[in-house]
Structure 1
Amino acid sequence: MKDIFERDLSGEMVSMDEPEFDNLYGVIQNAQKLIHKLNTQELSPEEIRALMAELTGKPFDATNTILPPFYVDFGRNINFGKHFFMNTACTFMDRGGIEIGDHVFIGPRVCLTTTNHDFNPYNRRTTFSKPIVIKDRVWICINATICPGVTIGQNSIIAAGAVVTKNVPLMSLWGAIRPKSLSI
């Protein structure tokens, strides 16, 4: 039988009323303590990398840059590539998993969310998650929102303010205008 962490990551329904939810919530509380430290203390790049490694449970590459504040709900289900840059005030809700490729740029106030609530209004304390995958050399511009289950294709650009609910093909410009192929 799967534990609540496996069920949550695999997209199964998870209720806040389950006894095992306290285990999940413990990870969330720890993530909040670490993010508070990141967002309120003056830290060196080395200290930021160490904190991010503690948050994710994986090494955080020396080529990566994060400009705080940064908000995350869980932390353990984020995989960062190399040469990653994230501007200020981004929010990652990663219970469903966030996979970020190499040379990815994320602008200010970008929101990546993998978790959603049950659509039944009498069961809203139940959530389900779907992963977000961001392929290599993607640029996500200011204030974009990436919804659960979305894959953004290699070399694509997500326009400022875009809400992305469907997969984005590689080499695409996606946003308020009609999707467009990019040529280099």
Structure 2
Amino acid sequence: MYMELKDYLEHLNAGKPVKANSDMLQFMTELSNEAMQITTQLNNVYHTPQEVRSLFTELIGKEVDESFMLFPPFYTDCGKNIRVGKHVFINACCNFQDQGGIVIGDHTLIGHKVVLATLNHGFAPEDRGSLYPAPIIIGTNVWIGASVTVLPGVTIGDNAIVGAGSVVTKDVPANTIVAGVPAKVIKRIEEASNK
């Protein structure tokens, strides 16, 4: 079956499932193989910051701002459903599962080994092979610490900080610091010092 990327993304962005053994799943697999080719190029030799931006642009299919910075290695199993703002920094060893959509606002910092996961499997054993997408939306001026995992459907509000090692299972309010497994609000930014 021939499928357009636009139709595939519309399906996922509408939150519709990708059923096991479907044409949609086959198309998803083809995109994953394409993403692996580009990330292998990105990750296996040194590239200048401009070359990194060029490869990332190829990976996501959209031009990124010259202020965008990424330290490889970087991993994704799609790439085509990532949108990044200006002055975004992504540190080394991050893994973005972006089929459900990832939006990263301006002036956001993402630490080492962050996982952004936008797909879930069906809970019923007979539906376990199906995939259910939900977007991750990250606001502006957000700082996500090292080794954080963000689960499908989460929105992280503007100016929020997510402490290292946290697992974010629900929305993070703007102007808060969250941490833990699962992540919980520790304090509001206005109350926080630099400790």
- Structure 1 length-normalised TM: 0.94
Q: Which residue does the alignment assign to 1:94?
A: 98
1:22-61 matches, cutoff 5 A? 22-61=26-65
Does the Cα contact within 8 Å between 1:4 and 1:21 map onto a contact in 2?
A: no
CA RMSD of aligned residues (A): 1.5
- Once the two structures are TM-superposed, the CA of residue 136 in structure 1 deviates from its matched residue by 0.3
Instruction: Report whether the alignment pairs 1:105 with 2:109.
Output: yes
- Give the number of equivalent residue pairs: 183
Which stretches of structure 1, 4 residues or more, deviate above 4 A after TM superposition?
none
CA distance in structure 1 between the aligned counterparts of 2:8 and 2:82, rounded to whole angstroms: 18
Does the Cα contact within 8 Å between 1:114 and 1:149 map onto a contact in 2?
A: yes
Unaligned runs of 5+ in 2: 1-5
Instruction: State the identity %.
Output: 40
1:1-184 matches, cutoff 5 A? 3-176=7-180, 178-179=184-185, 180-183=187-190
Unaligned runs of 5+ in 1: none
Does the Cα contact within 8 Å between 1:137 and 1:156 map onto a contact in 2?
A: yes
- Structure 2 length-normalised TM: 0.89
Distance 1:20 1:127, change over 3 A: closer
- Once the two structures are TM-superposed, the CA of residue 28 in structure 1 deviates from its matched residue by 1.1
SS at match of 2:79: coil
CA distance in structure 2 between the aligned counterparts of 1:146 and 1:20, rounded to whole angstroms: 25
- Once the two structures are TM-superposed, the CA of residue 66 in structure 1 deviates from its matched residue by 0.5
